[in-house]
Chains A and B, each alone.
Chain A
Amino acid sequence: MSNGAGGPSGIITRTYKSGSIIYFEGDKSEYIYILKAGKVFLTTIKLDTGEEYKEEVRQGEFFGVKSALGKYPREDTAQTVGNTTVLVLTPADFERLVLKNANVVKKMLRVFSNQLRRIVKMERSVLGETEIVNPDAELFKIGEYYYKAGVVKHAQYAYKRYMEYYPDGEKAALAMKRIRGIDAGEPAPPDIGGHDAGPAPAPPKQAEADFSFDEPDQSKEKDMIDFDDSTHEDEAPVPSRSASGGTSLSSEMDDFFADTKAPALDDFDADVTMSDSPRDLNDAADTSFGRGNYPMALEMYQKIISLNRTASPEEKKLYEKAHFDAGRCYIEMGKPKEALDLMSKVLRNFTGSPYLKPAIFHIGMIFESVNQKEKAITYYNKVLNMSPKDKLNSDALTKIKQLQGK
């Protein structure tokens, strides 16, 4: 196997004296580097605090990847310490090199997508207050837009999706009426704004009245007890994520993974160092979870639980979240019994928690995973009837349909 760095012809080796700049922040360049010998430090300015942030590249690691591939200016400055040798790759070299090992691209992709997820999350939280929208209402609006514009085929699509995902939604009756109208070939009325006073089908509010899941009831407790894991546990599907893969990589390629962590995580880095703040622990745990490292994530969520800090609302939320996410870790690790234990704690102890509904949904999933269909359906049903209606409700409906063999 011609492994990576040393191999392919045409790749240039370059040597720098100590203190040299390989590139400056803001430079435009298509080159990607691999550190062969010596030391390189990458310096970035953190977006949110303006702090300078230094990161050491380890030997065998790539750097300058994202800006080269994305064709944008460097976001960091790369400087050498001591005599240093690097390999210089064009994007084409880089592509040839990494295509030889799918695992490299895959893992790099996971790191990139985690970064993107974090940035997008931060963007949303900055926009936060102004961006509260209901996907269901917006989806319906699109249907109305097309309907008004006479593009009935597109309107039909939006209405049908609406009915599929939000069958109990506020606009369900109207959407249904529109779908029937379009099917019957009725032209769109010139003014559809106000009048739909006609005898519309079932009032959409009905679902609210049926809402009866106000406190963790006894039947749940019973479920916990007669959840028969001894016979079913073996059948529980072990998540087949091959996150551990990567056996035959050359050491150079192996090191590279560390790299995608290093220069890549620049701005908002969640260093996986252990800290005692629930918040830091939580960030690190989320990152591990995102990378598919469930045992590591679990350890950190459990640490948050053991800290037992609930004084401030934020700490309380993290404490509740840790229970829920630790449960998810167990699910991913194929340990339904432990998962159920944690999810039911959320149910019993955190009545008003935002994690209550997701926890109930996950209990459904756990029962589903051990083939206890009826119980799974019971829990999905509870989710289905909970307000406010959101995507979880429609997911629950989908699950119920699947389980009922439809």
Chain B
Amino acid sequence: MAMALDERFFEKFGVEYAPNEIIFCEWEPGNEFYFIQSGNVRIVKFIQNREKNLSVLTDGDVFGEMAILEEQPRSATAIAIDHVKLLKFHRDNFDTLMAGNPQLAFKLLVIFSKRIYDAKRRLMILLLEEPQLKVMDVLVMLAEQDPHLDLQNEITLQVTAQDVARWAGLTEDDAQKELTHLSRTDKIEMFGDKIVVKKIREFQRLVASRRKSMYQ
């Protein structure tokens, strides 16, 4: 979505970053959110003391938007890939800003719609009781998130055991135990950085039926 923001706007809220410069760092307090005018920004997170790329954002994207909600430490690090021009907005300016920029507000509306769904989806995993099902549901969630996958057939997910543990809210050992079990029963195949799932539909059905019976 092209945004027609005038020059004065950039004068007031514009900030620029050189290639490879940190914009904000995971765990530092966050009070601002950003809108990318030009350039690319890498979002990374530290997992098991390793830097892991979460995504690359570009012109028109918004990041750091969780700062609008509350004062929480940043959940990831943002690093400029190339020369980056940003608009930087403080939480306190939110209302005024939104009133003057319905397009930006609309964009945030779309982002929040997605975030709400993603957060609910994660919560659904956490609310399951058995670790086995949690792990299965993580794989189901990841499969659902990729529209290019053909869920009728064998699929490959770019995910490590640590990732699975994190999504499932399990310790790494517990997640590993469950994954090993699935692999031994030939439901999945594990590689270092990916997991092949033979019949994801089967997991889907299992989780769904268990979820239904959970409350009965």
Contacts and interface: CB of A to CB of B under 8 A. Distances in A.
Interface of A: 47-51, 65-67, 69-72, 75, 95, 98-103, 105-106, 108-109, 112-113, 115-117, 119-120, 122-123, 126-127, 130, 135-136, 138-139, 141-142, 145, 153-154, 157-158, 161, 165, 241-243, 245, 267, 391, 394
Question: Lowest 9 CB-CB distances: which A-B pairs, in order?
Answer: A50-B215, A70-B113, A105-B105, A69-B113, A139-B27, A112-B112, A102-B102, A135-B73, A70-B114
A115 B98 contact: no
B22 A157 contact: yes
A158 to B, nearest CB: 5
B11 interface: no
A66 B68 contact: no
Given A109-B98, A109-B105, A267 B68 contact: no
A72 B114 contact: yes
A102 B100 contact: yes
B25 A130 contact: no
B49 interface: yes
Interface stretch (B56-64, B121-129, B150-158, B188-196): B121-129
B103 A99 contact: yes
B98 A106 contact: yes
Contacts of A158: 22, 25
B65 to A, nearest CB: 9
B142 interface: no
A50 B49 CA distance: 38
Contacts of A136: 27
Contact of B105 (A50, A100, A102, A161): A102
B2 interface: no
Contact of A391 (B29, B98, B103, B216): B29
Contacts of B95: 106, 241-243
Contacts of B79: 154
B74 to A, nearest CB: 9
7 contacts: A67-B113, A70-B110, A105-B109, A106-B105, A116-B69, A123-B122, A153-B21
Contact of A112 (B20, B26, B113, B215): B113
A267 B113 contact: no
B51 interface: yes
A119 B119 contact: yes
A48 B124 CA distance: 8
B177 to A, nearest CB: 16
Given A109-B109, A123-B126, A142-B46, A47 B120 contact: yes
A117 B70 contact: yes
A109 B113 CA distance: 9
Contacts of B113: 65-67, 69-70, 112
Contact of B27 (A112, A123, A142): A142
Contacts of B215: 49-51
B124 A157 contact: no
Contact of A123 (B66, B103, B105, B119): B119
Given A109-B105, A126-B127, A141-B49, 12 more contacts: A47-B123, A70-B110, A70-B113, A70-B114, A102-B100, A112-B112, A123-B126, A138-B27, A138-B73, A141-B46, A145-B49, A242-B99
A66 B102 contact: no
Interface string B64-93: 001011110100010100000000000000
Nearest to B215: A50
A304 B22 CA distance: 45
Contacts of A70: 110, 113-114, 116-117
A72 B141 CA distance: 12
B69 A391 contact: no
B10 interface: no
Given A51-B215, A98-B102, A109 B169 contact: no
A298 B147 CA distance: 46
Contacts of A47: 120, 123-124, 127
Contact of B116 (A100, A101, A112, A135): A112
B115 A116 contact: yes
Nearest to A266: B120
B213 to A, nearest CB: 9
Given A117-B70, A120-B119, A109 B99 contact: no
B116 A391 contact: no
Given A72-B114, A95-B106, A126-B169, A145 B46 contact: yes
